[in-house]
A = this chain, B = another copy of it.
């Protein structure tokens, strides 16, 4: 079943607006097993739209157009569809009544311009707009289903879920495949592909979405009984193989996984950040209810602040520098102490573009992890610019926490910085409550 999307919007081609509708449609189609074969953005010009519609209706069985349904002269979808399909535009009384009622509810006067929204090509089925004013429509041609949806993202999304997907399912076009997304951290796309390819059951396809430091693995299969069984078998076979690299399935994020692990264990978290300057905390608080387990975050750039707020000893800063394993550990322990949390996580590093050099290049980041049992530090060297280094640091901070909580820090042992123990005079002055693991 070939499907395609046409976005109508000069403002997108002119670089004024980011097209966000397509990603929403693509995700819904993937979920429903509809294969999208093309996406085209055309300007608000009847000639260009008509040309593209004509071609789309020849080559695809499902065509979803978004935009161009408003009431300004730019809004050309109704007219272009009528032209291409050689139909007249007719005022639909029931739509006119609905539009007037919605306007009254907003205390806005109706106008002949706004009422052009009630014009539909002959034979079209209206699609209700539960969010905004302009109705969409559906036309069934001999070969294809053509959906015209509004361009406003909230209106488009609602109409897609409430009107388009039910029609596709009823026509047997949607719901014909099943899929599940597995989320992994600390593994590269290519290593993952090597590991799992031999384990996929017949007819199960794997797709990889790499994000800095993470991979989302989508497994899909036909929507029939056999496909469902094979998908389930594959997941059951993969889970032990992926082990602790797998942090969740479905819509879960790494931050949600961390917060859930904390809650399950009745633990609380505090962070101390330097190069990430609040980004770790910011990622965690995107999750509703984060404050249950995440007590707070201390961003301390200057050495003075590291000493005063986090209790990092001056001697440690002087001897090892702010970007070092001992400072990362002292920061994590300090955040834990200052906020009275069970676990502390810390980041200190060089995000660049300046500030790096010699033994401490741009991209060098130390992570500190501290709980009642002791503290550990991990050393990473990231490639990329400032933003990418910060993003990867946030991901690694969350993943280190997760691995710590499930007792699998052995997976990142190669990153661990071996430090001397508490009996060593270099550290005795630091009043670290937990012991130092290491040599």
Contacts and interface: CB of A to CB of B under 8 A. Distances in A.
Nearest to A218: B16
Given A15-B36, A16-B30, A37-B42, 9 more contacts: A38-B42, A39-B41, A277-B278, A278-B284, A279-B281, A285-B390, A296-B301, A297-B298, A304-B340
Nearest to A208: B16
Nearest to A181: B16
Contacts of A207: 11, 14, 16
Given A297-B297, A354-B289, A13 B41 contact: no
Interface string A242-280: 000000000000000000000000000001010111111
Interface string A282-311: 101110111100111111111011001100
A285 B355 CA distance: 14
A277 B305 contact: no
A19 B304 CA distance: 44
Interface residues of A, number: 76
A241 interface: no
A14 B30 contact: yes
A298 B298 contact: yes
Contacts of A40: 38-41
Contact of A14 (B18, B36, B302, B390): B36
Contacts of A279: 278, 281-282, 285
B297 A278 contact: yes
A299 B302 contact: no
Interface stretch (A21-29, A165-173, A403-411): A21-29
Contacts of A30: 14-16
B353 A288 contact: yes
Work out how many copies of this chain go into the complex. 2
Nearest to A275: B285
Contacts of A209: 11, 16-17
Nearest to A301: B291
A223 B305 CA distance: 51
Interface of A: 11-19, 22-23, 26-31, 35-43, 48, 154, 207-209, 216, 218, 271, 273, 275-282, 284-286, 288-291, 294-302, 304-305, 308-309, 338-340, 351-354, 384-388, 390
Contact of A298 (B15, B19, B280, B296): B296
Nearest to A298: B298
A38 B41 contact: yes
In the A-B complex, the 7 residue pairs with the smallest Cβ-Cβ separation, listed nearest first, are A278-B281, A277-B285, A278-B278, A15-B26, A297-B299, A15-B30, A279-B282
B26 A13 contact: yes
A299 B301 contact: no
Contacts of A289: 354
A271 B305 CA distance: 13
A271 B297 CA distance: 11
Most buried by B among A42, A282, A296: A296
A286 B386 contact: yes
A401 to B, nearest CB: 15
